[in-house]
Amino acid sequence: MSKMTEEVTRAIATKFLGGIEGFELIKLENYKNYVVYFAFPDGVTGEINVGLPIYVLIDKLGKARYATDKETHELMRRWNSDEEEDED
């Protein structure tokens, strides 16, 4: 993966999402050589169901895309398993 800073990747994700006014971005662990951001509406907690999560994947060239359905499922499982481990 190239040496893109979090500031650069966050700007790429924000631009890809059209400015995402009213949304927050959380950087997750890298996934299959992609930098991953989880985007969700400001003020939403984990207990509120707002539909499928939005994952933005950024490749080493700085090109952003939405996660596919399969990737979204894998990322959700990965993130949920991390939370369960933290509770133990």
Q: What is the mean pLDDT, run by run of 10 residues, along the chain of 88 residues? A: 82 85 85 92 66 88 96 88 50
Handedness of CA 48, 15, 6, 67 (dihedral sign): positive
Would you say 81 and 88 are in contact if contact means Cβ atoms under 8 Å apart?
A: no
Question: pTM to 2 decimals?
Answer: 0.77
- Specify whether the CB–CB gap between 30 and 36 falls below 8 A: yes
Residues 6+ apart with CB under 8 A from 50: 40, 41, 44
